[in-house]
A and B are shown apart, each in its own frame.
Chain A
Amino acid sequence: MEAYAYARPTTLDEAVSVLAAHAKEGRRTQILAGGTDVLVQMRSVDREPRMLVDVKHIADTNRLEIGSETVFIGSAIPSAILNENQELKALFPGLIEAADLIGSTQIQGRASIGGNLCNSSPAGDTIPAIIAASGVCVIAGSGGTRRVACEDFVTGVGTNVLGADELLVGLEFPTPKGRTADGYLRFIPRTEMDIAVAGAGVALTLDDGGTCTAARVAIGAVAPTALLVPAAAEALIGTTVDDEALAAAGAACTAASSPITDKRGTIEYRQKVVAVLCRRAGANARDRALAR
């Protein structure tokens, strides 16, 4: 029987070379950040032994930098640290709302938004929020570093653009300026501990008169991957993000969705609720932007 193995690189180079060496030999590797998805999968659906590459001991994956132009969030930083960062919370209330929604306090102590993205579940809570906030994935590999827009990172249910010799170093966001703010809401049956039945993230910029000049709307758990919904953004741009505009944006989300019926909800339910969430998250983002 093949055995499990564990590596704990301390530099990006070391991590990449471990990944590349195993890839070359055709041996399986899996990157371990918070482990809150990886360990569950190892224990149930996929017991096959592999090399676990722990990326939590690398400076770059733990870097949290808030600059005047960009914000960088290392891929291994647990949600709890993000939630406790008041500056980050003020800049990205929606993104931090999403990070705060991943599981329990215990899960927050381990789970990272980078891991949430790399797990690439259709229902990953932070993915729509990251997309709405214009996140860019910074990826390291044997060929050097490359950057991929978050909306292009996840390619299907559980799959993404990472090569076998690559890892996600972190996420880079444009620092919100002026009256720019975001909001994220998901629907779950309980108040905590559930996987999103549907989710919507909205980021808005308003001018001095309160008219929306830029918007990004992304939805989750209603398609094989989280989706950017340009039609929903267009419904908001040029408006004061009033009820009518929000309803139109919500309808655009429903139209863009292609959900399934499963143990967590029906097609009809998800189509309806994604519109409700878009409206409510959009209103939150608007009120926050107006308050700036």
Chain B
Amino acid sequence: MSKVHVVTNVNGEPREMLCEPQQSLLEVLRDELGMTGTKEGCATGDCGACSVMLNGRLVCSCLTLGVEAEGADITTIEGIAEGSQLHPVQRKFLEHAALQCGICTPGFIVATKALLDRNPNPDETTIRYWLAGNLCRCTGYDKIIRAVQDAATELAHEA
């Protein structure tokens, strides 16, 4: 198998990697770059645990090829906190107990940040539909929705 040399930018840092053409971005992030914060729940785009930002768009990294990352800007869960400061979305997930097992949490946090970057004041329905591609089997979503609402409020006050 001939590997492809890919130059990309992950969480603001230039990265180089060798990808097999069929490898997903998820596999490349986890297995080649050792960034295991992005999780695999299904590998078919149905659960959202692998959510990352690709050039400013929320995508499933399991449905993106690693080779497609050439020249792209990627944001993963490891890039959400600013230095040693948790992002307000991360903090609100903790304060609201919006995680139980935590496997879906990285995907939810990336997806939530993508939402609030775009729409600082989403209503409950908007939040629920935006996050419909992120499955959580533990919480029943209630506390996640409240955490997102609270994060939006806090970010609005900061702005």
Say if the two chains contact directly (CB < 8 Å).
Answer: yes
Q: Which residues of A contact B43 (CB under 8 A)?
A: 43
Q: Which residues of A contact B59 (CB under 8 A)?
A: 106, 109-110
Contact status of A105 and B46, CB under 8 A, knowing A4-B22, A5-B2, A191-B132: no
Assembled-state Cα–Cα distance A23/B45 (Å): 30
Q: Which residues of B contact A36 (CB under 8 A)?
A: 45, 60, 63
Is A226 an interface residue when CB atoms closer than 8 A count as contact?
Answer: no
Is A161 an interface residue when CB atoms closer than 8 A count as contact?
Answer: no
Interface hits, B16-63 → A, CB 8 Å: 20-22, 24, 43-46, 48, 51, 54, 57-60, 62-63
Is A9 an interface residue when CB atoms closer than 8 A count as contact?
Answer: no
Interface hits, A38-76 → B, CB 8 Å: 39-40, 42-44, 49, 52, 54, 56
Tell me the A residues contacting B by CB distance below 8 Å.
1, 3-6, 8, 32, 34-36, 39-40, 42-44, 49, 52, 54, 56, 78, 80, 103-107, 109-110, 191-193
> Are A110 and B64 within 8 A (Cβ)?
yes
Tell me the B residues contacting A by CB distance below 8 Å.
1-2, 4, 20-22, 24, 43-46, 48, 51, 54, 57-60, 62-65, 67-68, 70, 111, 114-115, 129-134
Q: Which residues of A contact B46 (CB under 8 A)?
A: 193
Assembled-state Cα–Cα distance A68/B141 (Å): 45
Taking chain B's interface residues, is the majority helix, strand, or loop, or is none over half, making it mixed? mixed
- Chain B nearest CB from A83 CB (Å) reads 11
> Are B133 and A52 within 8 A (Cβ)?
no
Nearest residue (CB) in B for A34 is B63
> Are A110 and B22 within 8 A (Cβ)?
no
Nearest residue (CB) in B for A84 is B118
> Are A54 and B57 within 8 A (Cβ)?
no
Assembled-state Cα–Cα distance A225/B107 (Å): 35
> Are B57 and A193 within 8 A (Cβ)?
no
Q: Which residues of B contact A105 (CB under 8 A)?
A: 58, 111, 114-115, 129-133
> Are A39 and B63 within 8 A (Cβ)?
yes
> Are A106 and B111 within 8 A (Cβ)?
yes
- Chain A nearest CB from B148 CB (Å) reads 13
A-B contact count (CB 8 A): 95
Q: List 27 A-B contacts (CB under 8 A).
A: A1-B1, A3-B2, A3-B21, A36-B60, A39-B65, A49-B22, A52-B65, A104-B48, A104-B132, A104-B133, A105-B58, A105-B111, A105-B129, A105-B133, A106-B45, A106-B48, A106-B59, A106-B111, A106-B133, A107-B60, A109-B54, A109-B57, A109-B58, A191-B129, A192-B133, A193-B46, A193-B132
- Chain A nearest CB from B122 CB (Å) reads 12
Nearest residue (CB) in A for B61 is A106
Contact status of A192 and B63, CB under 8 A, knowing A5-B21, A43-B43: no
Contact status of A35 and B21, CB under 8 A, knowing A44-B44, A103-B133, A109-B59: no
Assembled-state Cα–Cα distance A44/B57 (Å): 26
- Chain B nearest CB from A5 CB (Å) reads 6
Assembled-state Cα–Cα distance A4/B44 (Å): 19
Q: Which residues of A contact B111 (CB under 8 A)?
A: 105-106
Which of B4, B20, B51, B58 has the most C-beta atoms of chain A within 10 angstroms of its own C-beta? Answer: B58
> Are A52 and B60 within 8 A (Cβ)?
no
Which of B2, B21, B134 has the most C-beta atoms of chain A within 10 angstroms of its own C-beta? Answer: B21
Contact among B57, B133, B134 for A78, CB-based, below 8 A = B57
> Are A6 and B132 within 8 A (Cβ)?
no
Assembled-state Cα–Cα distance A1/B2 (Å): 12
> Are B70 and A8 within 8 A (Cβ)?
yes
Assembled-state Cα–Cα distance A44/B59 (Å): 20
- Chain A nearest CB from B117 CB (Å) reads 12
